[in-house]
Amino acid sequence: MLIRREHADDATAIAAVHRSAFGPQYADRIDTAASAVDGSVEPPEVDLIAQLRSDDCWMPTLSMVAIERDTVIGHLCLTRAVVGPFPVLALGPIGVLADHQGAGVGSALMHAALGAADALDEPLIGVLGSLEFYLRFGFVPAARLGITPDEPDWAIHFHVRPLSAYDVQIAGEFRYAEPFYDL
């Protein structure tokens, strides 16, 4: 497996990764998700990636794919977010083809993204998700660092990962880029 930056011609394969990774979660909720061309449910993560790419928050250097035998099998992106006046990063979506899940692809993407963000002197990454998954990568409940999501309902599932450039002054309300609120 190889982890590299996303290339422009990876967009279709990345959409397929997120369809495979997230589609089953929406299969019984057709009323809340658009149908794909083949009649299956189109998960919102597919459109989110497209919207993020066209937003000022997009950071091409932090959109990564996992490749196996010239096939994109996983994708993760970090985008610009803020905590009060401080620029930080938001993680997500992260997806792995269903038939490759549980094989370490997501972990490899996470380690590559954390290393790249740290090398760019980014201070912190926020994510909305399961602490059980993100804890092993050094994420902690955001409230421990005085950071709260701007959507109060998210608080229990919102976590942050301080990086080498983290400063304790970074505290307050975390805000994702606008496309995240259009889901």
The owner of tokens 């658009």 is 34
Cβ contacts of residue 14 below 8 Å, gap of 6+?
A: 6, 49, 65, 72, 75
CA distance 118 to 49: 22
CA distance 31 to 8: 32
The owner of tokens 């089953």 is 24
CA distance 102 to 150: 32
Both ends of the chain: CA-CA distance in Å?
31
Please say whether the beta carbons of 61 and 77 come within 8 A.
no
Q: Which residue has the higher pLDDT, 130 or 170?
A: 170
Q: Given a cut of 60, is residue 33 above it in pLDDT?
A: no
Q: Strand (E) positions, 124-164?
A: 124-128, 140-141, 147-149, 158-162
Q: Is 6 helix (H, G, I), strand (E, B) or coil?
A: coil
At 79-112, the pLDDT tens digits run: 999 999 999 999 999 999 999 999 999 999 999 9
CA distance 117 to 172: 21
Say if pTM beats, i.e. exceeds, 0.95. Answer: no
Please say whether the beta carbons of 14 and 72 come within 8 A.
yes
Please say whether the beta carbons of 116 and 132 come within 8 A.
no
Q: Given a cut of 50, is residue 76 above it in pLDDT?
A: yes
Mean pLDDT along residues 53-78: 97
In this structure, of 25-34, 127-136, 160-169, the range with the lowest mean pLDDT score is: 25-34
CA distance 15 to 44: 10
